C-alpha cells in the first residue's frame, strides 16, 4: 500500500508574497552567515508555515538558493575567503550527485525524506557543538585530498538533490574537520559550490514538476537582499559563537520536522 505521506500537495501553493518574503529574507541572512544555501530553513518553513508538500518544498528551495548563494559567494570572494581549487573539486562531484539526488527525490517515499532530512540536521548539529573552528590559512591538497574532495562533492550533491538544501551543512563542517580549512573560507567556498549544484538540481526538478518557480523567485529575490548582510556578520562574529548558533538552529529545525510527522 502506498505510503500515506506520499499523498502530499504536489501542485504549486499560491501563498501570500508576505510570508514568502519573510522566509526569503531570513534564509538569505542565515545563508550568508553560515555558508549554506538557505534551504536548511526554506524547506521546513515551506512545509510547516506555507503548506507545501515535502517534495515540492525541496525542489522550490533548490531553485531559490541559487541567487541567494551567488550573492553570498560574491561577498566572501570580495573578502578573499574562497578557495577556488577546492570549490572546483567539490562542484565537479556535486553536479553529478545532484542528478542522482533529484532522481531519488522523485522515487523515494516522503516519509524517508523527512526522516533523512532530520537525521542530517541532527548529526550536523551535534558535531558542530563539539567544534571550535580556527581561522587558519588555506591548505594544499595532494592527490588523495583531491580525490576525497571529489567524493565529498558527490555526497553533497546527492544530499542536496534529495533534501532541497544547498549542501553547505555537509561541506562546511567537512572542510573544517577533515582539511583544517578556515571557517570563513569554508563558508565562502561552500556557497560557490552550491550555485552549479542548485542549477543542475533545479533543471531536474522542473522536469519532474517538483518546483514552484513563482514562489522560488520571491524567496530568492528576498534572500539576495539580506545575504550580503549575513556575510558581513559572519566576518565579525567569533567562530565559536557562529557554530554554536548554527548547531542550535539545525537542532531546532530537525525537531520541528520530526514533530510535523504527527501534527
**pLDDT tens digits, 76-126:** 999 989 999 999 999 898 888 877 887 877 777 767 777 777 887 788 788
Lowest-confidence pick of 1-15, 144-158, 198-212, 223-237: 1-15
Residue in the structure block whose three cell numbers are 594544499? 140
Instruction: State mean pLDDT over 206-211.
Output: 85
Q: Is 5 inside any structural domain?
A: no
Q: Is 34 inside any structural domain?
A: yes
pLDDT the model gives residue 261? 47
Q: Is 180 inside any structural domain?
A: yes
Look up residue 181 and give its three cell numbers: 580549512
pLDDT the model gives residue 15? 53
pLDDT the model gives residue 13? 46
Structural domain range at position 81: 16-259
pLDDT the model gives residue 262? 43
pLDDT the model gives residue 118? 81
Instruction: State mean pLDDT over 19-27.
Output: 91
Is pLDDT of 2 > 70?
no
Q: Is 6 inside any structural domain?
A: no
User: How many of the other CB atoms lie within 10 Å of CB of 130?
Assistant: 9
pTM of the model: 0.80
Q: Is 3 inside any structural domain?
A: no
Q: Is 8 inside any structural domain?
A: no
Reported confidence tier of residue 166, pLDDT bands at 50, 70, 90: low
Total count of domains within the chain: 1
Is pLDDT of 174 > 50?
yes
Q: Is 7 inside any structural domain?
A: no
Lowest-confidence pick of 64-73, 159-168, 170-179, 230-239: 159-168
Nearest to 249 by CA among 30, 99, 10: 30
Is pLDDT of 22 > 80?
yes
Q: Is 9 inside any structural domain?
A: no
**What crossing angle do the helices spanning 168-179 and 84-107 adopt, rounded to 10°?**
140
Amino acid at each position: 500500500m502506498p505510503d500515506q505521506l506520499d499523498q502530499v500537495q504536489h501542485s504549486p501553493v499560491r501563498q501570500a508574497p508576505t510570508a514568502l518574503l519573510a522566509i526569503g529574507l531570513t534564509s538569505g541572512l542565515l545563508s550568508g552567515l553560515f555558508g549554506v544555501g538557505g534551504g536548511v530553513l526554506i524547506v521546513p518553513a515551506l512545509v510547516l508555515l506555507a503548506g507545501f508538500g515535502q517534495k515540492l518544498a525541496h525542489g522550490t528551495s533548490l531553485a531559490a538558493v541559487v541567487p541567494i548563494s551567488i550573492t553570498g559567494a560574491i561577498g566572501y570572494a570580495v573578502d578573499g575567503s574562497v578557495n577556488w581549487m577546492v570549490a572546483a573539486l567539490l562542484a565537479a562531484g556535486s553536479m553529478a550527485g545532484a542528478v542522482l539526488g533529484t532522481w531519488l527525490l522523485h522515487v523515494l517515499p516522503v516519509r524517508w525524506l523527512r526522516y533523512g532530512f532530520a537525521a542530517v540536521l541532527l548529526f550536523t548539529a551535534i558535531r558542530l557543538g563539539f567544534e571550535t573552528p580556527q581561522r587558519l590559512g588555506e591548505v594544499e591538497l595532494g592527490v588523495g585530498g583531491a580525490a576525497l574532495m571529489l567524493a565529498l562533492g558527490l555526497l553533497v550533491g546527492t544530499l542536496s538533490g534529495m533534501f532541497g538544501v544547498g549542501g553547505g551543512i555537509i561541506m562546511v563542517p567537512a572542510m573544517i574537520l577533515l582539511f583544517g580549512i578556515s571557517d570563513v573560507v569554508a563558508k565562502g567556498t561552500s556557497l560557490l559550490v552550491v550555485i552549479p549544484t542548485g542549477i543542475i538540481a533545479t533543471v531536474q526538478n522542473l522536469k519532474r514538476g517538483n518546483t514552484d518557480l513563482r514562489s522560488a523567485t520571491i524567496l530568492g529575490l528576498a534572500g539576495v537582499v539580506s545575504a550580503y548582510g549575513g556575510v558581513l556578520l559572519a566576518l565579525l562574529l567569533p567562530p565559536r559563537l557562529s557554530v554554536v548558533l548554527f548547531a542550535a538552529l539545525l537542532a531546532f529545525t530537525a525537531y520541528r520536522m520530526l514533530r510535523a510527522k504527527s501534527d
